[in-house]
């Protein structure tokens, strides 16, 4: 019997009424519907398509120019808890920042969602990139880029130790002896480091997956190094196949330097699919959305990405020559590089660049028939650029419905995507092992407790 061919992994990145910045103005969407029912519908739709997971982004300040767009009202872990009750198989990934949280809180919340969902929780680990976020946490300035990743590394060391502070079989419920938990199997973590001092153990028993799936989405030098060390899935924006291949090879290679095998880390570039029955129809749909763009919105987003105010520059001219360099950027370094390279490679005016970024903010937009989109996914998957994709529907629910009903069946016919869920947990969907609870050195919790 031949082994099952390598399978594509698919995550649905859900954002209110879609990733296109003008989707809320399009008649196919209903922005007034920002209720839990809207998200339940989207999660169930993705589950009907047998997708590996859904994913919710998050920022800790008003991120964008809310006069022209606002992308949803819920804190992601709260919303995922509700979605856990409305779904049974699909993985549930939420963004949580390591810069403005404490490891104990985060370890506890993810262990709880993992219990609630019976093993379907995933954490998109971000370091936060906006100056405004600092000002909501009693700080005037954002920590610098490198220090944010250093803090993130220590944060992960602590959260992983907390999840491992309970062995799997610590709860014994021995009614005869009156012993509820075997305290030899629950250990403190006693961490003292540069950023955190945490005694532990966690106050939640070990969860179904042991650790939630660890996802990461920064692609700068520091971001890649962090991903290679900790991440099990990586979201990334890549414009060209060649860039996608280089990123894929680089992260897998770096993972090897940390003693990990390439299969232990799944690379998922973002794609914003705009589908039509014919290529012309898909292009018409894309044009309809782009015609609704408000340039002021795109300009404020682009100004943040490139690190200077672009409002005084002519829309029909190129980006100014005197832009900052990547070293000057303290926010999202990889997106800065991607946008500048895209504009220069294709000699785009600012107006053209705004249109190119409107649907996917720098993620690749695939516009075409379901076959053409499936061909592109297969090409990226088979030529060393992707283990799967972070699907970013430009308008919701329509573009996700089209993807599930039209692209997924083609991938299934080609033997590239599951027709049924085989596993129960998110780790199983991604083909990743459940980490064993490393026995923690140190004294069991009962020491010092009067008996
Ligand atoms: C698909 C994707 C989703 C992201 N979602 C978030 C998010 O929800 N919140 C956030 O603060 N950053 C988010 N980011 C940004 C990254 O986590 C990271 O902070 C950013 O890319 C800067 O890191 P870098 O300079 O290492 O690239 C996302 C990035 C990608 C590619």
DSSP notation for 188-249: ---EE-SS-EE----SSPPPTTSS-EEEE---SHHHHHHHHHH-SEEEE--SSHHHHHHHHH
Cα 124 to ligand 1 centroid, rounded to whole Å: 9
Q: Which residues are annotated as a binding site for FMN?
A: 58, 95, 145, 149, 219-220
ipTM of the complex: 0.98
> Any idea which of 218-222, 231-235, 256-260, 293-297 has the lowest mean pLDDT?
218-222
Q: How many domains does the chain have?
A: 1
pLDDT at 447 over 60: no
Q: Are 14 and 380 spatial neighbours (Cβ–Cβ below 8 Å)?
A: no
Instruction: State residue 236 phi and psi, 5-degree precision.
Output: -150, 150
Is 95 a pocket residue for ligand 1 (Cβ < 6 Å)? yes
pLDDT at 272 over 50: yes
Q: Would 281 be classed as within a structural domain? A: no
Cα 157 to ligand 1 centroid, rounded to whole Å: 20
Higher-pLDDT residue of 269, 5: 269
Q: Would 261 be classed as within a structural domain? A: yes
Mean pLDDT value across residues 29-53:
97
Cα 436 to ligand 1 centroid, rounded to whole Å: 29
Two tokens at 390?
A: 């972070």
379-432 pLDDT, tens per residue?
A: 999 999 999 999 999 999 999 999 999 999 999 999 999 999 999 999 999 999
Q: Would 194 be classed as within a structural domain? A: yes
Q: Would 51 be classed as within a structural domain? A: yes
Is 237 a pocket residue for ligand 1 (Cβ < 6 Å)? yes
Tell the burial category of 46 from Cβ atoms under 10 Å away from its Cβ (0-12, 13-18, 19+). Answer: buried
Cα 83 to ligand 1 centroid, rounded to whole Å: 23
Q: Are 247 and 253 spatial neighbours (Cβ–Cβ below 8 Å)?
A: no
Residue 14's domain spans which residues?
Answer: 9-274+363-429
Q: Looking at ligand 1, which residue's alpha carbon is closest to its atom 31?
A: 236
Q: Would 327 be classed as within a structural domain? A: no
**Sign, Cα dihedral of 398, 400, 404, 408:** positive
Give the residue ranges of DSSP H helices in 101-180.
103-116, 131-134, 145-163
| Number of alpha carbons in the 13 Å side-chain half-sphere of residue 247 | 29
Ligand 1 atom having least distance to the Cα of 216: 17
CATH number at residue 41: 3.20.20.30
Q: Are 380 and 364 spatial neighbours (Cβ–Cβ below 8 Å)?
A: no
Q: Looking at ligand 1, which residue's alpha carbon is closest to its atom 3?
A: 217
**Mean of all residue pLDDT scores within the chain:** 94
Cα 178 to ligand 1 centroid, rounded to whole Å: 49
Cα 25 to ligand 1 centroid, rounded to whole Å: 26
Q: Would 77 be classed as within a structural domain? A: yes
Token pair 């895209």 is found at 342
201-251 pLDDT, tens per residue?
A: 999 999 999 999 999 998 899 999 999 999 999 999 999 999 999 999 999
**Cα 242 to Cα 246: distance, rounded to the nearest angstrom:** 6
Token pair 């083909």 is found at 431
**Cα 98 to Cα 1: distance, rounded to the nearest angstrom:** 46
Is 362 a pocket residue for ligand 1 (Cβ < 6 Å)? no
Pocket perturbation via mutation, ligand 1, pick of 129, 226, 393 by most ligand atoms within 8 A of CB: 129
Is 19 a pocket residue for ligand 1 (Cβ < 6 Å)? no
Is 129 a pocket residue for ligand 1 (Cβ < 6 Å)? yes
Q: Give the pLDDT of residue 5.
A: 85
Name the nearest CA neighbour of 393 among 282, 273, 279. Answer: 273
Q: Would 330 be classed as within a structural domain? A: no
Ligand 1 atom having least distance to the Cα of 95: 8
Is 57 a pocket residue for ligand 1 (Cβ < 6 Å)? yes
pLDDT at 442 over 80: no
Name the nearest CA neighbour of 220 among 332, 385, 384. Answer: 332
Q: Which helix (H) or strand (E) holds 95?
A: strand 91-97
Token pair 């629950």 is found at 186
Q: Would 142 be classed as within a structural domain? A: yes
Cα 97 to ligand 1 centroid, rounded to whole Å: 10
353-372 pLDDT, tens per residue?
A: 999 999 999 999 999 999 99
Ligand 1 atom having least distance to the Cα of 392: 1
């Amino acid at each position: 019997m031949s082994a099952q061919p390598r399978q594509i992994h698919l995550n649905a990145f859900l954002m209110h009424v879609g990733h296109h910045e003008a989707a809320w103005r399009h008649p196919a969407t209903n922005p007034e519907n920002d209720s839990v029912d809207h998200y339940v519908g989207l999660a169930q739709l993705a589950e009907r398509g047998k997708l590996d997971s859904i994913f919710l982004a998050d920022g800790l300040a008003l991120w964008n120019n809310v006069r022209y767009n606002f992308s949803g009202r819920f804190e992601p872990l709260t919303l995922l808890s509700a979605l856990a009750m409305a779904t049974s198989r699909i993985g549930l990934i939420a963004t949580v920042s390591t810069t403005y949280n404490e490891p104990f809180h985060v370890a506890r919340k993810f262990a709880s969602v993992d219990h609630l969902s019976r093993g379907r929780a995933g954490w998109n680990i971000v370091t936060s990139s906006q100056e405004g976020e600092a000002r909501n946490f009693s700080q005037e300035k954002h920590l610098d880029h490198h220090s944010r990743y250093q803090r993130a590394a220590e944060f992960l060391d602590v959260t992983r130790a907390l999840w491992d502070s309970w062995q799997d079989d610590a709860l014994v419920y021995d009614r005869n002896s009156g012993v509820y938990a075997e305290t030899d199997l629950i250990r403190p973590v006693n961490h003292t480091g540069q950023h955190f001092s945490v005694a532990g153990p966690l106050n939640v028993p070990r969860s179904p997956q042991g650790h939630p799936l660890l996802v990461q989405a920064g692609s700068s030098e520091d971001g890649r190094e962090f991903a290679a060390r900790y991440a099990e899935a990586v979201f990334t924006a890549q414009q060209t196949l060649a860039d996608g291949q280089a990123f894929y090879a680089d992260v897998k290679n770096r993972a090897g330097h940390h003693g990990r095998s390439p299969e232990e880390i799944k690379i998922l570039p973002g794609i914003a699919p705009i589908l039509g029955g014919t290529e012309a129809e898909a292009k018409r749909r894309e044009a309809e959305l782009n015609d609704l763009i408000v340039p002021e919105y795109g300009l404020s987003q682009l100004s943040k990405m490139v690190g200077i105010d672009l409002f005084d520059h002519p829309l029909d001219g190129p980006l100014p020559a005197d832009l900052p360099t990547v070293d000057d950027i303290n926010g999202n370094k990889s997106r800065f590089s991607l946008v500048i390279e895209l504009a220069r490679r294709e000699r785009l005016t600012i107006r053209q660049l705004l249109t190119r970024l409107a649907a996917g903010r720098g993620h690749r937009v695939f516009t075409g028939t379901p076959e053409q989109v499936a061909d592109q996914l297969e090409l990226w998957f088979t030529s060393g650029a992707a283990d799967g994709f972070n699907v970013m529907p430009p308008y919701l629910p329509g573009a996700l419905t089209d993807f599930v009903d039209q692209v997924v069946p083609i991938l299934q016919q080609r033997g590239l995507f599951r027709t049924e869920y085989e596993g129960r947990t998110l780790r199983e969907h991604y083909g990743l092992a459940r980490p064993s609870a490393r026995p923690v050195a140190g004294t069991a919790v009962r020491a010092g407790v009067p008996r």
